[in-house]
Structure formats: structure tokens, C-alpha cells
């Protein structure tokens, strides 16, 4: 709290604590997360896969929700444009990424995919700047 109060200035730790609790109560803050070095836990292989999905609408949403639940899937975005969904995955190596993509196809409804492999992560953040 002191670090936040110092950055904002002219606010006490008590005032900061009260505001944070209020933001949690109104669900403006969804949770707190630890930023873990992926290399430290053996998850340094990053890939992005664009998916073309057969059924549209609620069927598409059901498929991407199942994909989101797979271990190794970091983020899933339903999109407009060339792909219906973009999946960001993080695994220990290329073989594990291939296996994860195969598991996505086993869900069904995926017509095609294109994967991109990251060789260097320049910036990776879940921060929201306000």
C-alpha cells in the first residue's frame, strides 16, 4: 500500500486500502496475479494459432470455451477477419505445442489453423493502463 500511496502522492495507506477494497467490491479489480518467469517453470515455447471454426455464433463460442480450458492455453480471442479465433499457448517445447494443437482439433468444429512460433518475446503483459 505504501508503494501505491507514494506513487499517487497525497494519499494515505488507509485511503489507498479503502479504494482498493471498494474497487474489488464493484468488480473493477478482478483479482491479483503473480508474474512468474515462464523460463523458470519450463514454459518458454510461445505460439499463436489462428483458427477457422465451422459453426458460427453460439457453436463457435462453445468451441473456443473448450479450447480455453485446455492446459497450456494462455489466451483465447474470438475475432473478426481472417480467423475466427486466436489462441496464445505456452508450452515447454515444439512437440508439446503440436500436441496441444492436436487436442484443439479433437474438440471438433475447427476447419483449419495457422500457427506462428515466437522466437523472442519483446513484451508480454496483462497490464491495463488507466
Contact 26, 87 (CB under 8 A): no
What pLDDT score does 130 carry?
A: 64
How high is the pLDDT of residue 51? 97
Residue 77 near residue 53 (C-beta atoms within 8 A): no
Question: What pLDDT score was predicted for residue 62?
Answer: 94
Helix (H, G, I), strand (E, B) or coil at 110: strand
Please tell me the predicted confidence (pLDDT) of residue 3.
Answer: 75
Indicate the fold that domain 45-117 takes in CATH.
Alpha-Beta Plaits (3.30.70)
Tens digit of pLDDT per residue, the chain (130 long)? 677 777 777 778 888 888 889 999 999 988 888 888 888 888 889 999 999 998 788 899 999 999 999 999 999 999 999 999 999 999 999 999 999 999 999 999 999 999 999 898 888 887 777 6
How far is Cα 22 from Cα 24, in angstroms, rounded to an integer? 5
Alpha carbon 30 to chain centroid, angstroms: 14
Q: Is residue 54 a contact partner of residue 113, using CB atoms and an 8 Å limit?
A: no
The residues, any chain, with a CB within 8 Å of residue 51's CB and separated by 6 or more, are 64, 67, 83, 84, 85, 86, 87, 104, 110, 112, 113
What are the domain boundaries of the chain? 1-32, 45-117
Cβ(5)–Cβ(12) under 8 Å?
A: yes
Amino acid at each position: 500500500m505504501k508503494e501505491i500511496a507514494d506513487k499517487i502522492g497525497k494519499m494515505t495507506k488507509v485511503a489507498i486500502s479503502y479504494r482498493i477494497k471498494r474497487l474489488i467490491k464493484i468488480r473493477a479489480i478482478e483479482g491479483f496475479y503473480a508474474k512468474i518467469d515462464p523460463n523458470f517453470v519450463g514454459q518458454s515455447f510461445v505460439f499463436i494459432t489462428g483458427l477457422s471454426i465451422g459453426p458460427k455464433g453460439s457453436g463457435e463460442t462453445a468451441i473456443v470455451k473448450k479450447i480455453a480450458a485446455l492446459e497450456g492455453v494462455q489466451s483465447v480471442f474470438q475475432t473478426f477477419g481472417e480467423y475466427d479465433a486466436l489462441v496464445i499457448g505456452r508450452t515447454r517445447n515444439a512437440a508439446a505445442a503440436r500436441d496441444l494443437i492436436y487436442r484443439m482439433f479433437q474438440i471438433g468444429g475447427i476447419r483449419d489453423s495457422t500457427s506462428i512460433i515466437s522466437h523472442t518475446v519483446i513484451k508480454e503483459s496483462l497490464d491495463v493502463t488507466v
